[in-house]
Structure 1
């Protein structure tokens, strides 16, 4: 971690009530172990520390890189079940859907007036997302995605945004929007800070980045047998001696890292224990580690799934709170801009 991040962590530890976090996911498919170790685990930590946590299910933003949001309700339901199973508590975290908060989306219009087209064109994260887009041409939603994210963060006056390094340009757009609004109309919004985590880049079963769209991810909702099949088919190499070398042996090292994370151990130690036993022994170790780690999460998820009204109640309560806050923020924006008639 950087010195700045460590200082921020000290401030959170000392005064968690000073911070409001906005984080979330696009419901484009089931959450997987990359999500858990990359973000979910940190969200639960922040929630338990006493930070005011807002988690957005960004259903509108599914359309940034695709033409149609397929099986959306099913995916949203699965997302909420994964959140609950991972430890998010709707009594302490506000879990809500993007489309259910109209006042939030009304903030996008004045926010768009605060950034220029060249500034959006220069955003490296948007450039990368456009390259990997499923659409034949770039939509306005994709192009203005960072401004929509600024509205997501600022509607609740979020002042802390947990992100990876690649998302820093989006947070900078939000900071720019907040500063310019305050300079132009008066102080309404905090200028949020980015909280860089130490989340590992978790590789999938093909040795590439674990991703919903690449078919190489181990979903949190996968059964033990499905998990075993995925790991059995994972990419390794011809060297029988198992080592942890992420650059030289990404496939083998990705599996070692996955086992180490699930066992809360050092990956070099895990690799050394397997030694000359080869890829078959490595895959057995990973399968046992992953299934052992996910067993309690799966058990909780199955219990939640038996309550057919639970997901609707979680979202109803979260949407009510998010709407109340968004309405208040929008009223402040209208007053600041002189658009109250």
Structure 2
């Protein structure tokens, strides 16, 4: 693929334009694409995840795009000294996936640790990038700055290459990402290109995957900061209606009684307005106009009703799946088997290309 995803402003603009082209191609022939996406199991998914990535995964699946969803359990250690409550978090993550509509009959849900051939790709891939290239990755720098570890681990430093193995093991050609993930994807493209040039000029093994940039707007947490599982400011998909109401009653607003949608000057109020609009599938300006002089209390009531209405069927499905934990294990067992088949086939190709098939 000829279009390069760059990390500068011009490159981001190019990636946005290319994403629009890719959306057109997906609608014409979804079966030609394979998507790799996923999450680290560090807690339950929340509304920011839902509107940011999850509903888009379901959309791509429903269009007919082959979709692989990675539960990145090994990568929990990227910025943590230990992986706490890992089994519980993995199961909760799968429950969230099933509840929002990811169908294991049409999408492959699998865990990182269960696919050894995937992780064997890390060694040859590391030989294809330099220390300086990893050192200047802006996303890694940011993650190091916010790391929970006492010191930076080798896994943190090599995370972009590990992510390259996640993407390339299945030869994914599309990766849904936000703009902050473009540097990681560029490393993946570099690894794919260099492997093909060094070992497989006549018969390339890997595609150079392209970014499908998210157009999802940013939702703030109830404290006005970035919505995060670890900050206690998010509304999880598994929260019940009463908990949701309690969290939203404590959401940060401002002193102006007139409700307007002005993200630049009223970020907290505007985020709540936007959340209501997303849940209702309407325009945030219309939501703000309808609340008018009702103030923060009226805004929070509107948002609470909208969120609870939107999440009601998701919560019902989640409760149904949660009553049968054996189903979760079956989903992972089946997905892991499928992912292992793909990974072992790719690893054989890599070994043959490198002259290491004995």
What residue in structure 2 maps to residue 282 of structure 1? 299
CA distance in structure 2 between the partners assigned to 1:284 and 1:74 by the alignment = 33
Deviations 1:296-339 (A, max 9, x none): 00001011111121100000000000001100100110000011
CA distance in structure 1 between the partners assigned to 2:325 and 2:198 by the alignment = 48
Name which of 317, 320, 336 aligns with 1:300.
Answer: 317
Name which of 263, 275, 293 aligns with 1:258.
Answer: 275
Deviations 1:148-201 (A, max 9, x none): 000000000111000000000010000000000000000111111111121111
Q: When the two structures are aligned, how many residues end up with a matched partner?
A: 341
Name which of 176, 199, 207 aligns with 1:190.
Answer: 207
SS in 2 for 1:63: helix
CA distance in structure 2 between the partners assigned to 1:27 and 1:200 by the alignment = 23
Post-superposition offset of 1:245: 1.0
What residue in structure 2 maps to residue 320 of structure 1? 337
SS in 2 for 1:309: helix
What residue in structure 2 maps to residue 152 of structure 1? 166
CA distance in structure 1 between the partners assigned to 2:323 and 2:43 by the alignment = 21
Post-superposition offset of 1:3: 2.6
> TM-score if structure 1 supplies the norm length?
0.99
Q: Where do 1:170-181 residues align within 5 Å? A: 170-181=184-195
What residue in structure 2 maps to residue 26 of structure 1? 40
What residue in structure 2 maps to residue 16 of structure 1? 30
Deviations 1:79-98 (A, max 9, x none): 00100010000000000000
CA distance in structure 2 between the partners assigned to 1:88 and 1:246 by the alignment = 32
> TM-score if structure 2 supplies the norm length?
0.94
Question: Are 1:110 and 2:129 counterparts?
Answer: no
CA distance in structure 1 between the partners assigned to 2:154 and 2:217 by the alignment = 32
**Higher mean Cα deviation, 55-64 or 7-16?**
7-16
Question: Are 1:199 and 2:216 counterparts?
Answer: yes
CA distance in structure 2 between the partners assigned to 1:261 and 1:207 by the alignment = 18
SS in 2 for 1:176: helix
CA distance in structure 2 between the partners assigned to 1:48 and 1:276 by the alignment = 41
CA distance in structure 2 between the partners assigned to 1:321 and 1:146 by the alignment = 24
Q: Where do 1:212-223 residues align within 5 Å? A: 212-223=229-240
Question: Are 1:53 and 2:61 counterparts?
Answer: no
Q: Where do 1:54-133 residues align within 5 Å? A: 54-133=68-147
Structure 1 runs, 4 residues or longer, greater than 4 Å off: none
**Unmatched 5+ stretches in structure 1:** none
Deviations 1:223-272 (A, max 9, x none): 10100000000001111111111111111111111111101111111011
CA distance in structure 1 between the partners assigned to 2:22 and 2:251 by the alignment = 38
Deviations 1:34-63 (A, max 9, x none): 000000000000001111100000000000
Name which of 305, 308, 314 aligns with 1:291.
Answer: 308
SS in 1 for 2:237: coil
CA distance in structure 2 between the partners assigned to 1:12 and 1:324 by the alignment = 26
CA distance in structure 2 between the partners assigned to 1:59 and 1:132 by the alignment = 19
Deviations 1:188-215 (A, max 9, x none): 1111111112111111101112111111
Question: Are 1:140 and 2:154 counterparts?
Answer: yes
What residue in structure 1 maps to residue 284 of structure 2? 267
**Unmatched 5+ stretches in structure 2:** 1-12
SS in 2 for 1:56: strand
SS in 2 for 1:174: helix
SS in 1 for 2:128: coil
SS in 2 for 1:84: helix
SS in 1 for 2:93: helix
